[in-house]
Structure 1
Amino acid sequence: MAGRLAPLTTREGDSGSRAAGLAPRLALLVVTVVFAGFVVNAFQYVLATRATLGHVAPAVFCLVVMMVLQLGLFSNPRADVRGRWGHVALLAQAAVALVPLAFYGRGWTGMQGFLAGDALLVLRPLAGWTVFGVIALVTGLVQYEISGVPPEAVYITNLTVVIGLVVYGLSRLRSLVRELDDARSELADLAVARERLRFARDLHDLLGFSLSAITLKADLARRLLPRDPSRARRELAEILGVSRQALSDVRAVASSYRDLSLDDEMASARSVLAAAEVVVTVKYERGDLPPRIRTVLATVLREGVTNLLRHSEAGNCGVTVARDEHAVSIEIVNDGVRDIGDSGDHGDGIGNLRSRVEALGGTLTAAAGPEETYRLHAVIPLRDGGDGGDVHATGSRRERRGRSGQSRRSGRSGRPEHGPAMAPRLGLAVATAVFTGYAVNATVFVAAARMSLGGTFVAESCVLVSLGLVLGFFSRPASRVRSPLGYALLTVQAVVTYLPIALFENPYLGLPGLLAGSLLLTLPTRFGLPLFLAVMVSMGGAHFLLGGDSISVTYGFLVTVNHGLVVFALSRLRSMVRDLHDARSELADLAVTRERLRFARDLHDLLGFSLSAVTLKSELTHRLVTRDPSRARRELTEILGVSRQALSDVRAVASSYRERSLDDEIASARGLLTSMDIEVTLRLEPCALTPDVRTTLATVLREGVANLLRHSGAQNCEVTLTCRDDRLTLRIVNDGVVPADGAAGDRPVASVGGSGGSGIRDLTVRVSELGGTLRAGTTADDTYRLQAEIPLTRA
């Protein structure tokens, strides 16, 4: 019994950072070394029984098959272990784990742990855990039949359980490393979408105030010009200054998010409100503030003054900025409010402000008050408002974790499921069970030593203290292991590891593997790894110096390495399970951001065409009023219809994404182009289209016609829809375009400068989501071509 290898452990590193360091190759190395330790340990027992070729060769064959199956399939994150070949491999694993028992007896007991762990990976949970328990129980009964010693049967049963959990946990570790890497890659992609949304929000916050100020001052200058030219000139100078600042703001947002000066914004607000003949009262406690808080407060002030100018007829406005040791607040109160309903929320501006304030842990309220007043109030805690990372405004960490249970099991790569999803509680349970299993085996060694009551108490106390330190501190994701407390507890663990060995001259007492693993978790690699090896050598040396044979010495090396790596890996597993859950929750939050961007894109697609049509028809109507009243009346009727449709589109986008009729869009485009005296040619082949393809093609047609009207002097337009081979093609070609730089020919959209702006880019995204491509550019005959191609498999 002294030569059995009893694996166990779990530990997680410093909150998320330690998990991030476990790269796929390192995970494979840890898994390979641990599993090889089990195999080598079993081989030495077979070799010790009889060192003949006929006796050893079958064992080597079975062990090699076991390792190939384990590393090549069961622990391979890319393998479909729950498919047909997974079940076939499980039967093969059962053969090499169970059949040799009849030939090698106690030398083979413990290897059934591989089979037990693989059953958890291959079978559904209920069946897997049932088979797992049966294998452990049967292994213990076989050991009792062989030796007739109950403690040995208990030891082997526990060893089988521990090995099975280690096999399961480490196999899932490799899969989790890959899943976490995929999740982080997707997070990076979606973070771009979130930054685009933040960009749009910041652009609104920066320019909304400036444009309102320009409008106000331009109107004031227009009224002042006849009676007070000098003051009008001053106002025009301020308009020029504001416009230049607005341009500077745009450039700043385009390159990076700039820090706003609260002092400058306060002065600008005074000036603008005074120009609007609003009496301003300011109470401003100046003081140093973190840049992010200062910028958000300045943005709140900008938005507050902008809303005052847009939505009220204020005569008085009070601005108060106050702070204490815990928080800073800004309050803007004005009179003269109009009826703003119950919410008091003026569109996206206040919503954007609320997101920015909540991202710093603060609160923002905006509501009508008594006597036709309006109050905008923001409070930001100073302790949370430093320059740290953003906190998502979509919900608390607890809420995200609550939603994460609904996340998908596989990454976006579409690889097969690799066993059951490992929830944080299951990761904790596996780690705790393995650590406790190691302690149980150590307790068996303490009992087998037959020491005095006092000696047994001391040795068992050391085992329990070592287990408690790993479970209670070193393996906890939230523990700060690299701290003075961590180093002190690591010293305590070293004492309880070596004390019973020194006192009772028995190298089987204590849990040296837990110390080795804790060293890897606590210390930097340049210190932790040498000390890990030192513990391993010391345990092999202890067995040798205290009279152990070659098997015992080898066991001393192997058990320390195996237990130490298992402690390290399973502890990381706990951290990675938590990180993976958080990453999936982040994906859920960021998916909302992506949908908001899609919302904005669809809104542009729906309204861009309609508003362009309204503008063009309004200009045409203005020219026709005096010379062709009847046609002007018809155009006005069409304007009314387009505007009503635009309002319906807004409501449709606000509630859900509507499907567009391609036939309706074709008819609308023909009517609009004909009204603009543009000759239209339609060549449309009948094609069976799915709703998403039909909607996308309708959107492409809308945007193409809108660009034609905005950016060309077209007299002819040709729209073609063809179904050829494996692709569906929509092509819009118009004249009236001069080739850029003399270069002709279709080009990818990204290379076409000024060819439709964000509308074309949004179309590119929509078409690519269907597996298609969009090309836009000038041709050799001075025409412009917009062409969308979509695979017929999607159509």
Structure 2
Amino acid sequence: MTVVSAPGSQRETLTPSDDPRGVGPDVTRTRLVSLGFLGTLLLARCADAAVHHTFGYLPFVAALFVLPVWYVSGVARHAWTRWRWWLLAGQALLTYVPFVLFGNGWVAGLSGLLGGLVLVLIPAPRSWLLLGGLLALEATLWVEVVGVPYRPAINAGVWVVVAFADVALGLFGLSRLSQLVRDLGAAQEELATAAVDRERLATQEQLRRLIGDRIQQVAQHARAALRWLSATPEDARGEVAAAGVIARQAAAESRRLHAADPDRGITPYEPSHTTTAPRTARAVLVTVVALFAAQNLLNVTMPSGRPRQHVATALLVAVVVSLGIMAVQWYHSGAGTGRGKPRYWPYTLALLAVLTYLQVPLVGSLGLIFVAFLAASGLLLLPGTWRWIWFGAAVVSVSALFILLASGESPSTPTVAIRAVYTAAISASFGLMAYGLSRLAGLAVRLADRREDLAAVAAVRERLRLARDTHDLLGLGLSTLALKSDLIGALIGPDDARAAREIGELLHVCATVRSDTARIAGERPRLSLDTELGLATDVLASAAIHVRVTGVDRAVPQAVDNVLAIVLREAITNILRHSQARQCAITVESEDGLVRLRVSNDGAVSAPLSPNGTGHGLDNLRTRVTGCGGVLTTRRSGGTFVMMVELPAVPG
């Protein structure tokens, strides 16, 4: 659930049903993909392809994954900010102690976990400089200190560097994009709040210009009338008449405010992350594919084991395959960025499958290096469970072909099994990485769009809320000003003393209306039912309507009291505007956990509708009342109109 609030206001919640994109579950899947990448990578490194004399290296491999898995999981993330350097030092210790213990029997590529953490924890460009230093250290340790894990040395030396870079970039890309997705989700409240604030500022200016300034003019005319009252009654009557005209103009403006188009002027917002996310994902993905391609070319030109025949042909095929797979994977990865599936994707997916296995007859199991990207493309393009069937089939094909090709070389059965597990796990790991980078880039774009949608939703809701408050809270005061102006005009001459008192009360109402105007665009207005009962009695009495108030002794929470006050104010406004009442009864009572407010009047001649006949007044009240778990009912019988509100004494 997303909370949209603004300073000084009651909180308004956007429930999951308000989610215009429905991407909440995808945010969780980003973390699962990252954990899947690390989990399959752990399995691959435990079943490392190099020859190990014992299995003593396995605990050290598992230990190296503890901190990266912790970071990717998002649990207690604050510790990574507070203890960043200590945690990196711990990862470095776990990274380099095994070189001392196992020499070239250690597992290549695991140092990349340290490199990935450096990239995500240390700001650029220092992180990239440190990564370059770690890469140089990695090459030095394997080539100059412990010795390469296999021959030829050039092939092995490049492989350990490529393995380091692949792991570092994979961890960095998935972690950085996962963090970006989380940041986008967290920042949506900030954006929605900004949209609400913009609406309030715009409304504040409109209220000041259309209503506040007019109320000030009404007060000026009232003071002038008070000065002319004893000297020239005709001038005083003219000032009061002018005040009444302006008060009615202000009342008309309050009813029209925001009513024409609640969706006007939503300012679009485009976060910079919408371009950053796909660019980061594409850069990491292209680099990893390029590293795979470089290793593939090296495997063909300088293969481990006995030399192969037809090297020139194999090299030509390897170049075609490497370039073709880079292009097709780039094409397919666009499917994860929110643009939809690319055209002719079934044919390009088939082409990718052909390219993936094309090298096998020439270079054997080494030709299966690109299966990871075939698996990733299936996840991106195929629907439903078919994508996972494709993924699983691609991964299993690596092990099956490896075992089949190894059967003619007569290696030991345990070695074949271990290497088969390694090839399948490493393909699954980097397949998930390629899929995750593409999907996360698209999710970042969708979340950025979602933030804009939520901001628009928040802006419209605030606009409607401001329109309701303007209608409900200013209507009675502005009507009172017009009525008192008429009353004062009639009293000037026959009863100047009472006219002077009424002018004083008119000035008081002007101050109240101006205060309500300022509060509407500031914090949510908080009214008091007791105050409104007093104002209602005074206003109705000024209109020659007899008022009977009963059952006012009650204690209710502030939220309930505020809603009842607003309902009463709107009810009195409707009586003045839509009836020829001479009697009004107001009852407030509390019973069985409910608070009831009942307002009835005679002389009902029309339904309490807005000027355009849509009945916004009662609709506004129903929105408020139902929002607090209450019920508003109305009944008209002959010339009597009754409105009753029931609210829980303790709001839910």
TM-score (norm 1): 0.52
Change (3 A) 1:702 1:129: farther
The one of 368, 383, 394 aligned to 2:266 = 394
The one of 714, 722, 737 aligned to 2:587 = 737
Structure 1 residue 501, shift from structure 2 partner: 1.2
Q: Structure 1 residues 619-628 or 81-90, which shifts more?
A: 619-628
Match of 1:41 in 2: 44
* Equivalent pair of 2:403/2:420 in contact (CA under 8 Å): yes
Write out aligned runs for 1:15-54 (5 A): 20=23, 23=26, 26-45=29-48, 48-51=51-54
Structure 1 residue 480, shift from structure 2 partner: 4.3
CA displacement 1:235-267 (0-9 Å, x = unmatched): xxxxxxxxxxxxxxxxxxxxxxxxxxxxxxxxx
Match of 2:99 in 1: 101
Q: Does 1:430 align with 2:284?
A: yes
Write out aligned runs for 1:576-615 (5 A): 576-604=443-471, 606-614=473-481
Structure 1 residue 139, shift from structure 2 partner: 1.3
- Name the CA distance, whole Å, in 1 between partners of 2:356 and 2:495: 101
* Equivalent pair of 1:62/1:96 in contact (CA under 8 Å): yes
Change (3 A) 1:104 1:21: farther
* Equivalent pair of 1:74/1:86 in contact (CA under 8 Å): no
Change (3 A) 1:530 1:423: closer
CA displacement 1:111-133 (0-9 Å, x = unmatched): 11111212233333444333333
Change (3 A) 1:575 1:537: same
Change (3 A) 1:157 1:597: farther
Match of 1:166 in 2: 170
Change (3 A) 1:151 1:594: farther
**Total equivalences in the alignment:** 508
Structure 1 residue 110, shift from structure 2 partner: 1.0
Structure 1 residue 610, shift from structure 2 partner: 1.5
Match of 1:481 in 2: 341
Change (3 A) 1:157 1:513: same
Match of 2:354 in 1: 495
Match of 1:62 in 2: 60
Write out aligned runs for 1:272-287 (5 A): none
Secondary structure at the aligned position of 1:555 is classed as helix
Structure 1 unaligned residues grouped into runs of 5+: 1-16, 194-345, 356-392, 408-420, 684-693, 714-734, 778-782, 791-795
Match of 2:158 in 1: 154
Change (3 A) 1:31 1:541: same
The one of 367, 373, 383 aligned to 1:514 = 373
Q: Does 1:706 align with 2:578?
A: no
* Equivalent pair of 2:321/2:356 in contact (CA under 8 Å): yes
Change (3 A) 1:565 1:432: same
Match of 1:325 in 2: none
Give the fraction of aligned pairs with identical amino acids, expressed as a percent. 24
The one of 566, 569, 572 aligned to 2:436 = 569
Write out aligned runs for 1:174-573 (5 A): 355=264, 394-395=266-267, 400-401=269-270, 404-405=271-272, 423-449=277-303, 452-476=311-335, 477=337, 480-481=340-341, 485-508=344-367, 510-547=369-406, 549-550=415-416, 551-573=418-440
Structure 1 residue 746, shift from structure 2 partner: 5.0
Match of 2:115 in 1: 116
CA displacement 1:470-504 (0-9 Å, x = unmatched): 11334452654375x00011111111111111244
* Equivalent pair of 2:594/2:646 in contact (CA under 8 Å): no
- Name the CA distance, whole Å, in 2 between partners of 1:455 and 1:660: 79
- Name the CA distance, whole Å, in 1 between partners of 2:493 and 2:22: 76
Name the aligned partner's letter for residue 448 of structure 2. Answer: H
Structure 1 residue 644, shift from structure 2 partner: 8.1
- Name the CA distance, whole Å, in 2 between partners of 1:702 and 1:587: 31
Name the aligned partner's letter for residue 489 of structure 1. Answer: T
- Name the CA distance, whole Å, in 2 between partners of 1:81 and 1:427: 26
- Name the CA distance, whole Å, in 2 between partners of 1:19 and 1:661: 35
CA displacement 1:702-742 (0-9 Å, x = unmatched): 747736856999xxxxxxxxxxxxxxxxxxxxx94065xxx
- Name the CA distance, whole Å, in 1 between partners of 2:484 and 2:647: 24
Secondary structure at the aligned position of 1:528 is classed as helix
Change (3 A) 1:147 1:111: same
Structure 1 residue 62, shift from structure 2 partner: 2.9
- Name the CA distance, whole Å, in 2 between partners of 1:126 and 1:635: 74
Structure 2 unaligned residues grouped into runs of 5+: 1-19, 197-255, 410-414, 542-546, 577-584, 601-616, 633-643
* Equivalent pair of 1:514/1:564 in contact (CA under 8 Å): yes
Structure 1 residue 538, shift from structure 2 partner: 2.1
* Equivalent pair of 1:446/1:460 in contact (CA under 8 Å): no
Change (3 A) 1:776 1:532: closer
Structure 1 residue 532, shift from structure 2 partner: 2.3
Structure 1 residue 465, shift from structure 2 partner: 0.5
CA displacement 1:184-219 (0-9 Å, x = unmatched): 9999x99xx9xxxxxxxxxxxxxxxxxxxxxxxxxx
* Equivalent pair of 2:80/2:87 in contact (CA under 8 Å): no
Write out aligned runs for 1:2-21 (5 A): 20=23
- Name the CA distance, whole Å, in 1 between partners of 2:24 and 2:320: 34
Change (3 A) 1:29 1:634: closer
Structure 1 residue 461, shift from structure 2 partner: 1.4
Name the aligned partner's letter for residue 608 of structure 1. Answer: G
Name the aligned partner's letter for residue 32 of structure 1. Answer: L
* Equivalent pair of 2:63/2:94 in contact (CA under 8 Å): yes
CA displacement 1:141-190 (0-9 Å, x = unmatched): 21222336344333322322221121123334555666677789999x99
Q: Does 1:635 align with 2:502?
A: yes
Match of 2:244 in 1: none
CA RMSD in angstroms, aligned pairs only = 5.3
* Equivalent pair of 1:73/1:86 in contact (CA under 8 Å): no
- Name the CA distance, whole Å, in 2 between partners of 1:109 and 1:184: 42
Name the aligned partner's letter for residue 502 of structure 2. Answer: E
- Name the CA distance, whole Å, in 1 between partners of 2:503 and 2:89: 79
* Equivalent pair of 2:30/2:440 in contact (CA under 8 Å): no
Change (3 A) 1:347 1:703: closer
Name the aligned partner's letter for residue 44 of structure 1. Answer: A
Name the aligned partner's letter for residue 49 of structure 1. Answer: H
- Name the CA distance, whole Å, in 2 between partners of 1:30 and 1:126: 27
* Equivalent pair of 2:375/2:391 in contact (CA under 8 Å): yes
Name the aligned partner's letter for residue 108 of structure 1. Answer: V
Name the aligned partner's letter for residue 101 of structure 1. Answer: F
Higher helix content, 1 or 2: 2
* Equivalent pair of 2:536/2:569 in contact (CA under 8 Å): no
- Name the CA distance, whole Å, in 2 between partners of 1:520 and 1:488: 16
Change (3 A) 1:103 1:658: closer
Name the aligned partner's letter for residue 163 of structure 2. Answer: L
Change (3 A) 1:786 1:466: closer
Name the aligned partner's letter for residue 439 of structure 2. Answer: R
CA displacement 1:404-425 (0-9 Å, x = unmatched): 2399xxxxxxxxxxxxx97443
Change (3 A) 1:613 1:531: same
Structure 1 residue 522, shift from structure 2 partner: 1.4
